[in-house]
Chain A
Amino acid sequence: MLVSYKWLQSYIDLDGITPSDLAEKLTKAGIEVDGIEMPGEGLKNLIVGHVLKSEKHPNADKLNRCLVDLGEEEPVQIICGAPNVAAGQKVIVAKPGARLPGNIKIKRSKIRGEVSNGMICSLQEIGFTTKVVPKDYADGIYVLPEESEVGTEIVPLFNMDDAILDLDLTANRADCMSMIGVAYEVGAILNRQVKLPEIKGRTSAERASDYIHLKVETPQDNPLYTAKIIKNVKIGPSPLWLQTRLMASGIRPHNNVVDVTNYILLEYGQPLHAFDYDRFGSKEVVVRRAKRDEKLTTLDDVERTLTEDHLVITNGIKPVALAGVMGGADSEVQTDTKTVLLESAYFNGTVVRKASRDHGLRSESSSRFEKGIDPNRVREAAERAAELIAELAGGEVLEGMVEADSLTIEPVKIDFELGKLNKRIGTNLFVDDVEKIIKRLQFSYQVNGESFTVTVPSRRWDIRLPEDMYEEIARLYGYDHIPKTLPMDVSFGGLTPYQKKRRIVRTCLEGLGLMQSITYSLTSEEKYSQFAMEKADPIELANPMSEAHSVLRLSLVPHLLDAVSYNLARKNKTVFLYEIGSVFYSKGKNCQPEEREHLAGAMTGLYVDHPWQGKKEPVDFYTVKGILDVLFEKLSVSRFITYEKGQLDGLHPGQTANILLDGKVIGFVGKINPDMEKWYDVKDVFVFELHLGELLMKETDELLYTSIPKFPSISRDIALIVDREISAGDLQRTIQDAGKDLLKEVKVFDVYEGENVPAGKKSIAFTLTYYDPERTLTDEEVVVEHEKILTAVKDAHGAELRK
């Protein structure tokens, strides 16, 4: 809502309050002022000129050479490029020395050899936006009314010596979508009285009811419809004071009738519509729901196809307006209109909203109905508008108002106690303090001891509960006067064990070199199932903004690969990322999906990079696996974790492992395959993903100290020759199982294929460490254990000791 400071003064005394004071006070009271515009600021030397002569520029087709009277001794020559300039016009002239918006300075100059003593201006050139410039002058200079006096200053003439406050209204404060509403609010803030417009009520002898009949078929959609008739109007431009008020409020002037309806909409917040009575097509207004596929061409010349959801005004035969949203083109007020049928009605906000949404039509009118108008102003606004039309367009208002009224307005009464108010706000107000505030709001009330009963005026439909009154009182008392306290309970905060462990996961991975990233939960149809550990149906958005974010993801890896790709394209060659986020498994069409918290990572580049010492180690499968091993140790789940050779679409078939927790697959680690490398435009990327939820929910032992070894341990190295396919993990497990009691540790220290090892075989060397916490082991005991192990690996894997 744009509010003209000058115009607002018609309703309330703003003495001693500057526009910026007003903005600050409004903002602190809850009506946020987004900005103040001073349209006339910096403008000077702009006056009314009279074009005496206009002819083609001798050296330029598109220019005109004009002789303009500026009220000085001699008329001056001005070159003008506007196509609509003509002799006899009163125009806006920027004299040499003038300043225009954007700090443009006008100088006496020569244009194609001809002297130009200034510039004839369009409204845009003096600062109005094209949106509000009357259509006739949108592409040329503005032509002032004939009676304008030559030499008059433009800034005051156009009411540009004003301040326009841009109010950013919250949804509940629709009452401030009118000048009178704003005046009440300012009155409450400043403790000053509101002056309402005077309505004289002069009418002709003829009765409106002889001209028009009303029928509302769906009173729940339209509880009140009123019609007035104004006869013998003469359509023309509105006076400048009216046009400039509209333009200041962001509305384009049209003609004296339409402008009045818009003016009253701004003044009272009551949307009105003027029909050309003779073009209406009947003497009966019928308000009803549209029929399916009924057509209506609206004022903007668009043919609209309607449904039963839309409320229409009809002439008994066909729709002539989309109720509360926009009028029809056929019954529009035109230059030859003689009689006006003026509609002032109260339409249900929901039905207006539906129509405005379905047709993509947001109008000043629809937005007011949607947010709620004051039902008690419907008639008053109609009377005032009719009178103003008669005044400006020279017609006469017929007697009476034709109505279809099924509206009941119950006065809203709110009871509340002073004690409760103070208890909720934390203040220590007295009856007297509260009374003063209610008076400022101009609400009527009764007070009995410390009990209040307030009657809320219908313009404030947002106030229904005691809490709403608490807010009114608190905001006018001033939020910044409320004391600052803290809740007085005693409670103990903290993270859950799960949340704590999640932070440990972050810290651990970061310590190992990975950076946390956050990517989108929504992905594309193509990517949603990539790297998914389990297949599932897509969960699709019904109304996505783009295909790239239209389906919920099943894996975190695709967006991590996008991030890797983004980085590689920017020459960030080493990228180690991890993410903790949700993936979404469908549980059926109308059920909330299962959200699993996953942990994933993507790594590429050099894990060790000390160039001047010649040490460079690219990330490989074992780097990533090692990182996970550290993480599992940190979470004390290592002994429940195993790896097995795995397979997953998108991963290298030879470099992928499943990660198992208690024998159940909870994740994978591997290198992405060439197809995916191509798809994402990356190279040598290793990824992992884990069902973090399951990992962190695993019950683990408490941390307890185990004593430091008191006796020496004995280590033995063995190298085993096995078939190439035998995995180190299997061998290790066999060794561990066989050497259970005394074998403390098994470590791979060498893997070898080639010379001295038969074809199809490989050599794997282990260091076995034996230890007994109770005593020093003897060589003989170790030999016995060692033999057991060698027998076991031979039996299980055909392993031979390498000589």
Chain B
Amino acid sequence: MKERLEQLRKEALEHIEGAKDLKEIQQIRITYLGKKGPITDILRGMKNLAPEERPKIGALANEVRETITEKIEKKWKELEQAAIQRKLAEESIDVTLPGRKMTVGNRHPLTRVIEEVEDLFIGLGYTVAEGPEVETDYYNFEALNIPKDHPARDMQDSFYITNDLLMRTQTSPVQARTMEKAKGKGPIKIICPGKTFRRDNDDATHSHQFMQIEGLVVDENIRMSDLYGTLEYFAKKIFGNDRQIRLRPSFFPFTEPSLEMDISCKICGGKGCHVCKGSGWIEILGAGMVHPNVLRMNGFDPEKYSGFAFGVGVERIAMLKYGIDDIRHFYTNDVRFLHQFFQKD
């Protein structure tokens, strides 16, 4: 009996070792451990043994069965793993082939700048005001302290439709309209982006259509220092904290005092180069305290109220920020140009 069991163990283990796939292992299990298998036979035939033999043989039979079961389990796992590995190997691909990219568009660089500026000022409590591209002479000029025959009209050669209608030359008429609507009651805090037009021939630095963003704050006790602080915040947010700013007195009919703001040249760090024409500074905007005539004309009492306004060219900001050298790029819409503004700053 004992020999028979040992023989069985040896035989079974050899079979298991030689098994090639899961099916074979399954067969081996049935052959050796099944209800009709040799071990079951032996256990069943125990009753024919001498009583003192029984426990010994019984124990051995169980031990053999356990050993076989164990080995089968182990082999099963091995073969299963091998099968998985084989399948994975078959499914392997060239991961360096290009992915299936989705076509995704993006904002125009000018809109990008406008939204950035809008969000910046929204954070300071401003709202966004808009107005028509075709304006009346009144809102475009007269309400801004530029009466007919004022020499300042020389500064803006405009596209007229009739004597009284023109393509707006600036976004400032939105200021006049907003003040008029407020009926002499502050505060007003707006930012006005939009398209503007001047009689220019289109070339690398001129465009008959361009975009501006104007800001206007009117309230009691608005000071020029508030303008300075606001402009510095704007410049550092848009162009970076490392840039210096400089204010220069200037002239606009709708502000008094007036100023222009320069930022230090990024290319040369202020030492002077061809981009800043050797000055180390680059002009980026015009601003000033709202002229008392403008306040009065638009229904505000200049004794009680004061305000500031500023205007920036959107193309100019975009050109400086992204290093674009030709203003016409913004309006030809070459997809190779537009797509460059897909990525983050």
Question: Is A484 a contact of B232 with CB atoms below 8 Å?
Answer: yes
User: How near does chain B come to A540, taking the closest CB pair, in angstroms?
Assistant: 7
Contact with B along A161-191 (1 / 0, CB 8 A): 0000000001111000000000000000000
Question: Is A545 a contact of B335 with CB atoms below 8 Å?
Answer: no
A-chain residues with CB within 8 Å of residue B160 when the two chains form the complex:
541-543
A521 vs B133: C-alpha distance when bound (angstroms): 9
Question: Is B107 a contact of A510 with CB atoms below 8 Å?
Answer: yes
Question: Is B134 a contact of A552 with CB atoms below 8 Å?
Answer: yes
A-chain residues with CB within 8 Å of residue B336 when the two chains form the complex:
570, 572
A34 vs B152: C-alpha distance when bound (angstroms): 20
If A495-B122, A519-B331 touch, does A485 touch B228 (CB 8 Å cutoff)?
A: yes
Contact with B along A544-562 (1 / 0, CB 8 A): 1100010010000000000
A578 vs B257: C-alpha distance when bound (angstroms): 42
A572 vs B334: C-alpha distance when bound (angstroms): 8
Question: Is A171 a contact of B225 with CB atoms below 8 Å?
Answer: no
User: How near does chain B come to A777, taking the closest CB pair, in angstroms?
Assistant: 38
Question: Is B229 a contact of A484 with CB atoms below 8 Å?
Answer: yes
Binds A, one of B14-22, B55-63, B75-83, B216-224: B216-224
Question: Is A264 an interface residue, CB under 8 A from the partner?
Answer: no
Give which listed residue, B100, B106, B152, B199, contacts A516 with CB less than 8 A.
B106
Question: Is A542 a contact of B189 with CB atoms below 8 Å?
Answer: no
Question: Is A584 an interface residue, CB under 8 A from the partner?
Answer: yes
A-chain residues with CB within 8 Å of residue B121 when the two chains form the complex:
493
If A543-B160, A567-B334 touch, does A471 touch B128 (CB 8 Å cutoff)?
A: no
Question: Is B333 a contact of A491 with CB atoms below 8 Å?
Answer: no
Name the residue on A nearest B256 (C-beta).
Answer: A467
Interface size class of chain A, counting residues whose CB lies under 8 Å from the partner chain: 35 or more
Question: Is B151 a contact of A493 with CB atoms below 8 Å?
Answer: no
User: How near does chain A come to B8, taking the closest CB pair, in angstroms?
Assistant: 55
User: How near does chain B come to A734, taking the closest CB pair, in angstroms?
Assistant: 36
B-chain residues with CB within 8 Å of residue A575 when the two chains form the complex:
335
Binds A, one of B25-33, B39-47, B242-250: B242-250
Contact with B along A567-585 (1 / 0, CB 8 A): 1001010111110011010
Question: Is A486 a contact of B230 with CB atoms below 8 Å?
Answer: yes
B-chain residues with CB within 8 Å of residue A593 when the two chains form the complex:
134
Question: Is B103 an interface residue, CB under 8 A from the partner?
Answer: yes
**B contact residues, total (Cβ < 8 Å):** 86
B-chain residues with CB within 8 Å of residue A516 when the two chains form the complex:
105-108, 111, 338
Q: Which of A471-509 contact B (CB under 8 A)?
A: 471, 474-475, 479-480, 482-496, 499, 503, 506, 509
A475 vs B224: C-alpha distance when bound (angstroms): 12
Q: Which of B127-171 contact A (CB under 8 A)?
A: 127-128, 132-136, 149, 151-152, 154-155, 159-162, 164-165, 167
Q: Which of B316-345 contact A (CB under 8 A)?
A: 330-336, 338-339
Name the residue on A nearest B107 (C-beta).
Answer: A516
Question: Is B102 a contact of A563 with CB atoms below 8 Å?
Answer: no
B-chain residues with CB within 8 Å of residue A34 when the two chains form the complex:
277
If A513-B103, A520-B331, A575-B335 touch, does A489 touch B187 (CB 8 Å cutoff)?
A: yes
User: How near does chain B come to A697, taking the closest CB pair, in angstroms?
Assistant: 14
Question: Is A610 an interface residue, CB under 8 A from the partner?
Answer: yes
Question: Is B70 an interface residue, CB under 8 A from the partner?
Answer: no
User: How near does chain A come to B185, taking the closest CB pair, in angstroms?
Assistant: 13
A-chain residues with CB within 8 Å of residue B197 when the two chains form the complex:
521-522
B-chain residues with CB within 8 Å of residue A595 when the two chains form the complex:
132-134
Question: Is B161 a contact of A539 with CB atoms below 8 Å?
Answer: yes
A717 vs B226: C-alpha distance when bound (angstroms): 69
Question: Is A35 a contact of B277 with CB atoms below 8 Å?
Answer: yes
Question: Is B134 a contact of A522 with CB atoms below 8 Å?
Answer: no
Name the residue on A nearest B207 (C-beta).
Answer: A520
A410 vs B164: C-alpha distance when bound (angstroms): 35
A-chain residues with CB within 8 Å of residue B278 when the two chains form the complex:
35
Contact with A along B101-118 (1 / 0, CB 8 A): 011111110110001001
Name the residue on B nearest A425 (C-beta).
Answer: B224
Q: Which of B189-204 contact A (CB under 8 A)?
A: 189, 195, 197, 199-201
Question: Is B104 a contact of A170 with CB atoms below 8 Å?
Answer: no
If A424-B289, A516-B106, A517-B108 touch, does A493 touch B122 (CB 8 Å cutoff)?
A: yes
Question: Is A592 an interface residue, CB under 8 A from the partner?
Answer: yes
Question: Is B51 an interface residue, CB under 8 A from the partner?
Answer: no
User: How near does chain B come to A510, taking the closest CB pair, in angstroms?
Assistant: 4
User: How near does chain B come to A393, taking the closest CB pair, in angstroms?
Assistant: 35
A486 vs B215: C-alpha distance when bound (angstroms): 14
Question: Is A29 a contact of B249 with CB atoms below 8 Å?
Answer: yes
B-chain residues with CB within 8 Å of residue A468 when the two chains form the complex:
256
Name the residue on A nearest B103 (C-beta).
Answer: A513
Question: Is B50 an interface residue, CB under 8 A from the partner?
Answer: no
A563 vs B328: C-alpha distance when bound (angstroms): 13
A515 vs B209: C-alpha distance when bound (angstroms): 20
Question: Is B292 a contact of A486 with CB atoms below 8 Å?
Answer: no
A370 vs B230: C-alpha distance when bound (angstroms): 36
If A172-B251, A486-B226, A486-B229 touch, does A475 touch B257 (CB 8 Å cutoff)?
A: yes
Question: Is B249 a contact of A479 with CB atoms below 8 Å?
Answer: yes
Contact with B along A660-685 (1 / 0, CB 8 A): 00000000000000000000000000
A537 vs B232: C-alpha distance when bound (angstroms): 47
B-chain residues with CB within 8 Å of residue A30 when the two chains form the complex:
248-251
A590 vs B164: C-alpha distance when bound (angstroms): 7
B-chain residues with CB within 8 Å of residue A515 when the two chains form the complex:
105-106, 108, 333, 335, 338-339
User: How near does chain B come to A544, taking the closest CB pair, in angstroms?
Assistant: 7
A-chain residues with CB within 8 Å of residue B189 when the two chains form the complex:
487, 489, 491, 493
Name the residue on B nearest A490 (C-beta).
Answer: B125
A171 vs B200: C-alpha distance when bound (angstroms): 20
A-chain residues with CB within 8 Å of residue B226 when the two chains form the complex:
426, 485-488
A522 vs B166: C-alpha distance when bound (angstroms): 12
A-chain residues with CB within 8 Å of residue B124 when the two chains form the complex:
486, 493
A-chain residues with CB within 8 Å of residue B239 when the two chains form the complex:
none
Question: Is B174 an interface residue, CB under 8 A from the partner?
Answer: no
Question: Is A8 an interface residue, CB under 8 A from the partner?
Answer: no
Question: Is A513 a contact of B98 with CB atoms below 8 Å?
Answer: no
Name the residue on B nearest A466 (C-beta).
Answer: B292
Question: Is A75 an interface residue, CB under 8 A from the partner?
Answer: no
Name the residue on B nearest A509 (C-beta).
Answer: B105
Question: Is A486 a contact of B133 with CB atoms below 8 Å?
Answer: no
A-chain residues with CB within 8 Å of residue B223 when the two chains form the complex:
423-426, 485
Question: Is A492 a contact of B335 with CB atoms below 8 Å?
Answer: no
A792 vs B228: C-alpha distance when bound (angstroms): 72
Give which listed residue, A35, A489, A574, A592, contacts B125 with CB less than 8 A.
A489
Name the residue on B nearest A543 (C-beta).
Answer: B160
B-chain residues with CB within 8 Å of residue A520 when the two chains form the complex:
208-209, 331
Question: Is B249 a contact of A471 with CB atoms below 8 Å?
Answer: yes
Question: Is A518 a contact of B331 with CB atoms below 8 Å?
Answer: yes
A-chain residues with CB within 8 Å of residue B306 when the two chains form the complex:
424
Question: Is A467 a contact of B229 with CB atoms below 8 Å?
Answer: no
A501 vs B249: C-alpha distance when bound (angstroms): 40
A511 vs B121: C-alpha distance when bound (angstroms): 26
Name the residue on B nearest A503 (C-beta).
Answer: B115
A576 vs B102: C-alpha distance when bound (angstroms): 13
A73 vs B124: C-alpha distance when bound (angstroms): 80
Name the residue on A nearest B251 (C-beta).
Answer: A170
User: How near does chain B come to A181, taking the closest CB pair, in angstroms?
Assistant: 15
Given A485-B226, A519-B331, A541-B161, 4 other A-B residues pairs in contact with their CB atoms under 8 A: A171-B154, A426-B224, A521-B167, A578-B105
User: Which A residues are closer than 8 A to B by beta carbons?
Assistant: 27-30, 32, 34-35, 170-173, 349-350, 353, 370-372, 423-427, 462, 465, 467-468, 470-471, 474-475, 479-480, 482-496, 499, 503, 506, 509-522, 539-545, 549, 552, 563, 566-567, 570, 572, 574-578, 581-582, 584, 589-590, 592-593, 595, 607, 609-610, 612-613
Show 18 A/B contacts (Cβ-Cβ < 8 Å), sorted by A.
Answer: A30-B249, A425-B257, A465-B292, A471-B257, A479-B249, A483-B229, A485-B223, A487-B189, A510-B104, A515-B105, A521-B209, A539-B161, A542-B162, A545-B201, A563-B332, A592-B134, A592-B136, A595-B133
- Minimum-distance CB pairs A-B, first 10: A426-B225, A30-B249, A471-B257, A426-B223, A170-B251, A513-B103, A484-B229, A517-B333, A491-B125, A493-B122
